[in-house]
Chain A
Amino acid sequence: MTQGFRTQTGGRIDRSQTLAFRFDGRSYAGHPGDTLASALLANGVRLVGRSFKLHRPRGIFSAGAEEPNALAELRGGARREPNTRMTTAELYDGLEAASQNRWPSLRWDLLSLNGLIAPLLSAGFYYKTFMWPAAFWEKVYEPLIRRSAGLGRAAREPDPDRYDAVQAHCDVLVVGSGAAGLAAARVAGAAGARVTLCEQDFALGGGLLSAPAHGAWREATLAALAAMPDVTILPRTTVFGYYDHNVVGAVERVADHLAQPPPHTPRQRYWTIRARSIVLATGAHERLIAFPDNDRPGIMLAGAAETYASRFGVRAGSRALLFANNDAAYASLFALQDAGIAVAGVVDPRTESAGAEAARARGITVWADSQVTGASGGTALVGARVARRGAGGGDTLVVADLLCVSGGHSPAVQLASQGRTPLEWSEALAAHVPGPATLDQHSAGAANGVLGFAEAAADGARAGAAAARAAAADIPLPGAGDAAYGLLPFWEADVPGKAFVDLQDDVTANDIRLAHREGYKHIEHAKRYTTHTMGTDQGKSGGLVGAAVLAAARGERVQDVGLPTFRPFTSPVTWGAIAGPHIGQQFAPTRLTALYDWHVRRGAEFMDAGQWLRPAFYPIPADADAWASVLREARAVRKTVGICDVSTLGKIDVQGADSAAFLDRLYTNTFSTLPVGRARYGLMLREDGIVFDDGTTSRLATDHFFVTTTTANAGPVMAHMEFHLQTCWPELDVQLASVSDQWAGMSIAGPKARATIGKIVQDLDLSDAAFPFMAVGDGSVRGCPVRVLRISFSGEQAYEIMTPAGYAETVWTAVLEAGEEYAITPYGLEALGLLRIEKGHVAGSELNGQTTAADLGLGRMVKKRGDFVGRALSQRPGLTDPDRPVLVGIRPATRHDRLRAGAHLVTPGSTESLGWITSVTRAVELEGWIGLAMLRGGAARQGSRMQAAFPMLDETVEVEITSPHFVDAENLRVRG
């Protein structure tokens, strides 16, 4: 493969090694040090993509992160990555890339006919063209838009790579390694600061990489930094967001420059960096100029063409024309000339300039006071039309395959602006520069509006010293160059045509004016109406140009129109990096009880309960299906005895002289009257009067309580207690400790519960007289300390045994052995739920943040005397309205009908929902399905029939309204 546009010498590529790569199936060659873009240009490839909306042919426009056009799908299969900027993708041997947004091929794109229907795709086209009829959206418009206007395709397989997250701290963070950044890092490092330097490029140096004259200074500075142990340099690391309190987010592309990551290496690292001070040396972005067909392949930012020539040894064309309004761009052109590119001339809207003088001295034709009025060529530029500004006369066609454009340079203030620094207008640059920072933040170099290597380095040294809170260190600076800039603000050629201000989103100057005419005059509105600056490049090269067009339409100055708010991300970040290691099983912590291993050995089917993994049921071969297991387990509890792991319950140890008074203030119940050695079911309200949680509280000593909460509210109840103790009643002598993980718990329930545990519990009299319902006491099982609570969730005779988590399996096994003669059956969460619904106990579906104690039939638990959280507001008329939905039981009138949670309860012929079913189950105590529901006028409706409507399945079932207590309403069994 030839690289016909590669120079013989020069640049920072290694010509001794050749890297093979493929683009759209064709093989090419490049060198280490290339980007995909520079290698394609070296091979003479000019057409690299089609535009988003209009499918216009596009070439490489920039040499960096601001690239709007040259987006590729990189790699294949599970590693296929869409919308990769060819200008930042580092070339490696075997790289595979494909152009995007073309069908069937890049050169012959049928959808470029979009260009012919372009009037339909003007500003706000989504809102106008596709508005009516609504049904067309789903069936016609959206598929059409998706097929024709999508960007690249994401991989469909799971990402095979790993992404790491790094938490970092430093004294001084320097963003950017150009002259300013290097100088800042060196000064801060010399002052003893802990410095982190982030550079998005794979090579350090920024603009210095294209300036051979300053190579020695760059080398010397990097060597000095390498010798400083507290300076960390992170190449391939893009700082994409500046957040509050000097926290920034950055992505390090650890292995993107390789076909796949080496073993034990992540593809990328997501850095969260907390910096005491931040130096923003992010450089500047060259601006485009709007003129007709300014998007043709072969039209490129002047600085980019210089970078390709000076850094990569690539001629981006054979014959170059420059269209520029500033002197810095002339230096770029001269670099092209020095690299062997023929120069067609310079078009300059200024009448006279230092740049024009220098060009003429080099024998270059300069059309002063002129503008480019159009570009010729389809998939490759063949020439540009040039005319005098304002003159009515004809234009000249200048033959060129490379048109370098420079409308000036906008400091890259995105991060500074995200970091709360106000922007100010620089007349000299016709651009925004950072104003005084409010955070400990220092912009430097081109990002601060200071152009020129020597000036930028000096500014960086100043910023580095300020950031390190040190006196400016005396470091060597690069030699001064030609400081002439002489910019004349010039945004748009004043001729009709399709002049783009946003290449990626296909937004033209006319689109901006149309938005203005249609009332979208604010910059934020015009942005959203036209999609200007909303692409992956975030309008880095055309954002201000669009604002200038809007300003002209409004008859105002550019600086008075402002810019849309800069937000993260300044550059695209892959989802993999954001998710990091928190995927799949690692998305959230998994909590396991102390009995988890036993459940696994027993073959339990597990289910998620918040972060907990709990046994749903324990299937045995005889079970036909899951329901068979659940019903078998529940029947065992009703008939003999079952055992269930309830370790997930929240447990809070409350101690101190004022413990009883404290609990009295938090619960609707009174705990100060609870005798030692007894437990009480407690109900807790939120301050707004709604039920918060329920659980059992035991009194272990006068000044010592043991509180249990629901599994889901273990954390919130603890925080609720701490809040009230610390902020409302700090005078109370109370200490709280969460002991949820310290105690394992098991519920032994069924008519044979006492017979079972009576065999093994020592040092505690379990006889009915000594240990009645709601008794609590300490004992031991096989030498393990246990706390036994005689409480029941199932409605059967039941005990909870708590034991320090390390003893859990010993105690559990002892119970199983003791219960062997009664065929003791372990039961899971499903059977637990079945049993509690039969008993009419409320749980999460009923404690849903909308229900009061009275709604749940628990009004008797609310004390009449004394204050407690939620007392006052529970008495609001809205919460005491007798017409509120209350808890009832539900059975299908036809016993084999199925009930569904979420079904609405209506009277026949009506569509007014009077309530809804909260929980359902198949029952064991009675036949068929049962459920709990919240129903208006529920008490009066008991015994009547209603319809349970489930419109999602188009299902209606006739139901009987019953008491919510299907089992032992008199509560005799628990005492038996």
Chain B
Amino acid sequence: MIRIACPFCGLRDETEFAYRGDATVSRPPADAPIEDFHDYVYRRANPRGWHVEWWHHAGGCRQFLKVVRHTMTHAVHSVGLASSTQVVPPE
């Protein structure tokens, strides 16, 4: 079980959160071609290593947090607000 330090609520168990996937993709503008929406919904890098992703604190403050997690070790490097820019550490 991984533990995530919510900026609002403190260090909490994974079971309080819902995973919402890759936070490096963002919704295309309304006038973007359909291919951009396809990539937004379906294309993922699936890295082995650090990954910026959305975790919804569904059992807490209801905020979508940006979490930098290592996909192999599950180590969490940093947690920030949805509006934050998260820096991915070197491998």
Measured CB to CB, the residues of A under 8 A from B are 243-245, 247, 272, 274, 420, 438, 687-688, 719, 722-724, 726-728, 730, 866-867, 872-873, 875-876
Contacts and interface: CB of A to CB of B under 8 A. Distances in A.
A719 B36 CA distance: 24
B9 interface: no
A247 B73 contact: no
A728 B82 CA distance: 9
A245 B41 contact: no
A730 B37 CA distance: 20
A727 B3 contact: no
Contacts of A438: 73
B50 interface: no
A722 B56 contact: yes
Interface of B: 1-3, 13, 18, 20, 23, 26-28, 30, 32, 34, 36-38, 40-41, 54, 56, 58, 62-64, 73-74, 76, 82-83
B74 to A, nearest CB: 4
B58 A719 contact: yes
A723 B62 contact: no
Given A438-B73, A722-B56, A728 B41 contact: no
Contact of A687 (B2, B18, B40, B56): B40
Contacts of A872: 28, 32, 34, 36-37
Contact of B18 (A245, A274, A719, A873): A719
Q: Which of B2, B18, B37, B58 has the most CB of A within 10 A?
A: B37
Contacts of A688: 41
Nearest to A873: B37
A962 to B, nearest CB: 36
30 contacts: A244-B1, A244-B2, A244-B74, A245-B1, A245-B2, A245-B3, A245-B74, A245-B76, A247-B1, A247-B13, A274-B13, A420-B73, A687-B40, A719-B56, A723-B54, A723-B56, A724-B27, A726-B63, A726-B82, A727-B64, A730-B83, A866-B30, A867-B30, A872-B28, A872-B34, A872-B37, A873-B37, A873-B38, A873-B41, A875-B34
Contacts of B37: 687, 872-873
A552 to B, nearest CB: 33
Contacts of B74: 244-245
A873 B33 CA distance: 10
Contacts of A722: 56, 62, 64
A243 B54 contact: no
Contacts of B38: 873, 876
B34 to A, nearest CB: 5
Given A867-B30, A873-B41, A247 B20 contact: no
B56 A728 contact: no
Contact of A730 (B30, B41, B58, B82): B82
Nearest to A686: B41
A244 B34 CA distance: 40
Q: Which of A274, A728, A872, A876 has the most CB of B within 10 A?
A: A872
A274 B38 CA distance: 41
A719 B17 CA distance: 12
A730 B26 CA distance: 13
A728 B2 contact: no
B26 A728 contact: yes
B64 A723 contact: yes
Give me the 3 closest cross-chain CB pairs, A-B, nearest first: A867-B30, A872-B37, A244-B74
A663 to B, nearest CB: 16
Contacts of A687: 27, 37, 40-41
Contact of A728 (B27, B34, B76): B27
A875 B33 CA distance: 11
Nearest to A730: B83
Contacts of A244: 1-3, 74
Nearest to B74: A244
Given A722-B56, A727-B82, A876-B34, 16 more contacts: A244-B3, A247-B1, A274-B3, A274-B13, A438-B73, A687-B27, A687-B41, A719-B56, A727-B23, A727-B64, A867-B30, A872-B37, A873-B34, A873-B37, A873-B38, A873-B41
Contacts of B76: 245
Contacts of B62: 722
Q: Which of A274, A726, A730 has the most CB of B within 10 A?
A: A726
B50 to A, nearest CB: 15
Nearest to B64: A726
Nearest to A665: B30
B80 to A, nearest CB: 12
Contacts of A719: 18, 56, 58
A624 to B, nearest CB: 46
Nearest to B33: A872
Nearest to B18: A719
Contacts of B1: 243-245, 247, 272
A81 to B, nearest CB: 28
Contacts of B54: 723, 727
A894 B34 CA distance: 48
A274 B13 CA distance: 9
B41 A247 contact: no
Contacts of A866: 30
Contact of B20 (A243, A274, A723): A723
A730 B74 CA distance: 29
Contacts of A243: 1
A160 to B, nearest CB: 29
A454 to B, nearest CB: 36
A272 to B, nearest CB: 8
Contacts of A723: 20, 54, 56, 64
A789 B51 CA distance: 47
A713 B32 CA distance: 29
Nearest to B56: A719
A82 B39 CA distance: 53
Nearest to A274: B3
B29 to A, nearest CB: 8
B25 to A, nearest CB: 10
Contacts of B56: 719, 722-723
B85 to A, nearest CB: 13
Contacts of B3: 244-245, 247, 274
Contacts of A728: 26-27
A728 B23 CA distance: 11
B18 to A, nearest CB: 7
A554 B54 CA distance: 46
A875 to B, nearest CB: 7
Contacts of B40: 687
A825 B91 CA distance: 67
A438 B83 CA distance: 31
A272 B13 CA distance: 11
A719 B74 CA distance: 24
Contacts of B2: 244-245
Q: Which of B23, B38, B41 has the most CB of A within 10 A?
A: B41
Nearest to B23: A727
A723 B64 CA distance: 7
A245 B20 CA distance: 20
A244 B15 CA distance: 13
A735 to B, nearest CB: 12
A272 B32 CA distance: 48
Contacts of B13: 247, 274
Nearest to A736: B62
A724 B1 CA distance: 27
B42 to A, nearest CB: 8
Contacts of A724: 27
Nearest to B11: A274
Contacts of A867: 30
B38 to A, nearest CB: 7
A661 to B, nearest CB: 12
A873 B41 CA distance: 9
Contacts of A245: 1-3, 74, 76
B2 to A, nearest CB: 5
Nearest to B66: A727
A722 B2 CA distance: 23
A873 to B, nearest CB: 5
